[in-house]
Structure 1
Amino acid sequence: MLLLLTVALCAAAGVASAPEGLLVGSTAAVTTVKLVHLLCFATSWGATVWAIFIGGVIMFLNLPRHMMGSLRGKVFPACLALTAACTAVSSATFAWLHRPWQAMPAVERRQLGVLVAAAGLDLANLLLFAPKVLKVIRERHKLERGLGVGDLGSFDGMRSNARAAGCCAALAAANGRFRIAHALSALATLTSAAGLAAHSCYLAGKLAP
């Protein structure tokens, strides 16, 4: 997945920095670039909405605490890699379609900045924040198993964790590290989602009445 992400980011950089005259005069080629932009943006936006509002909620409500943590450890990195790659490609195609950049209207410059920021946040989440969250989750799972808690559903598991943390300093410290790492990861995800939502409004404004 990281290899595919690297390829996507390199391809995005190549498209964004392509010669200004490349593909000009080819309606089919320009249409293809527009299609790539829309498909990549839609994929990133859909994956983000699913991960935040649907998939994560379903896992939280229906899976035992430790099973949910293990599944998130597999699903979320893949989702973040997908959204980072797709948003980076969307940024690159958007930049190429609006060259020369010096003459780009202010509204398009803002949209490009939003897309680049969203891709950067997803990349930071994938490489920095999410790994810290998952590392602390594994530490908490190990401590909870030693204390005999964690196999319950999410709500009961949270209450059991809170009670166990009252008499286990190591678990209390792990809980504190989890809250900080999770807050940073969630903030990055929500900020990226807000940027994608803003771009969807921009695209909606381009639709013919």
Structure 2
Amino acid sequence: MKGLVPIQDAMASDTEPSNAIKLLHLLFLSTSWGMQIWVTFVAGFVMSRHLPRHTFGSIQRELFPYYFHISSTCAFLNLTLFAMSHPSERLGSEHKAQIIIFLVCIAASVLNTQCFGRVASDLVAELQRLESSHGLGQELGLAAHEPRRRLRASDPSYGRLARRFALHHALSSLCNLLCIVCNGLSLHHLAGQLSAL
């Protein structure tokens, strides 16, 4: 019969997210991805080479809380929109993998927001105070390494502080890279669903 829609087609259209949900999902994912790529691979490198170290550190201390909170919010909203559009009784393995990717992204973002990123910012402020008291902090780029190495050798408390910062900065960077990978995988999943550009 002409007027009847096959049962499978009717079920697919019942679970198909609206264009508004698709747009919001794409908006949050692309905002997060674009911001992460810009901050990680462009802004940080440019500023570190062209600004005095303490100016660069101060800018990052001011920007990073916003960056981490926006990343966390986008990750949470992406998971929420995806879960709303995919009822649990109809989840395939690809959908479950996508939900796990969103959960990992949320966990890494929240760790950065609440722990590693916050502690690293606090440690930078302490390092800057110590460096300023020794006349350091206005060096550009690689010129800062040698004076700081000498300060680490002569001041054990500065050395301990620098090691703590290096650890928290590395963990924060790892969380950030994990979020970039998760968002990249999510974009790959979305690209696979496109029938045309």
With normalisation by structure 1, the TM-score equals 0.84
* Aligned-residue offset at 1:25: 6.3
Match for residue 65 of structure 1? 53
Q: 2:141 aligns with which of 154, 166, 182?
A: 154
Alpha-carbon deviations, 1:59-79, whole Å to 9, x = none? 111110000000000111111
Match for residue 188 of structure 2? 201
Cα RMSD of the aligned pairs, angstroms, is 1.7
Q: 1:39 to 1:129 in 2, by over 3 A?
A: same
**Partner Cα distance (1:56, 1:119) in 2:** 23
Match for residue 21 of structure 1? none
Q: 1:25 to 1:106 in 2, by over 3 A?
A: closer
SS in 1 for 2:100: helix
Q: 1:146 to 1:88 in 2, by over 3 A?
A: same
* Aligned-residue offset at 1:103: 2.2
Match for residue 96 of structure 1? 84
Match for residue 76 of structure 1? 64
User: What letter is aligned with 2:83?
Assistant: A
* Aligned-residue offset at 1:98: 0.8
With normalisation by structure 2, the TM-score equals 0.89
- Mark the runs of 5 or more structure 2 residues left unpaired by the alignment: 1-12
Are the aligned partners of 2:15 and 2:86 in contact in 1 as well (CA < 8 Å)? no
Identity rate, percent:
25
Alpha-carbon deviations, 1:159-205, whole Å to 9, x = none? 21111111111111111101111111011111111111111111111
**Partner Cα distance (1:48, 1:127) in 2:** 18
Count residues with an aligned counterpart.
184
User: What letter is aligned with 2:76?
Assistant: A
Alpha-carbon deviations, 1:116-143, whole Å to 9, x = none? 2102211110111111101111111011
**Partner Cα distance (1:60, 1:200) in 2:** 29
Which runs of 4 or more aligned residues in structure 1 lie more than 4 Å from their structure 2 counterparts after TM superposition? 24-27
**Partner Cα distance (1:194, 1:26) in 2:** 28
Work out which of the two has the higher radius of gyration on C-alpha atoms and give 1 or 2. 2
* Aligned-residue offset at 1:113: 1.0
**Partner Cα distance (1:80, 1:57) in 2:** 18
Alpha-carbon deviations, 1:8-52, whole Å to 9, x = none? xxxxxxxxxxxxxxxx9698x821111111101110111111111
Are the aligned partners of 1:66 and 1:150 in contact in 2 as well (CA < 8 Å)? yes
Are the aligned partners of 1:150 and 1:161 in contact in 2 as well (CA < 8 Å)? no
Structure 2 residue 134 is the aligned partner of structure 1 residue 144: no
User: What letter is aligned with 1:172?
Assistant: G
Match for residue 46 of structure 1? 34
Match for residue 20 of structure 1? none
* Aligned-residue offset at 1:154: 2.7
SS in 2 for 1:166: helix
User: What letter is aligned with 1:49?
Assistant: I
Alpha-carbon deviations, 1:75-132, whole Å to 9, x = none? 1111111111011111110111111x13200001101110121022111101111111
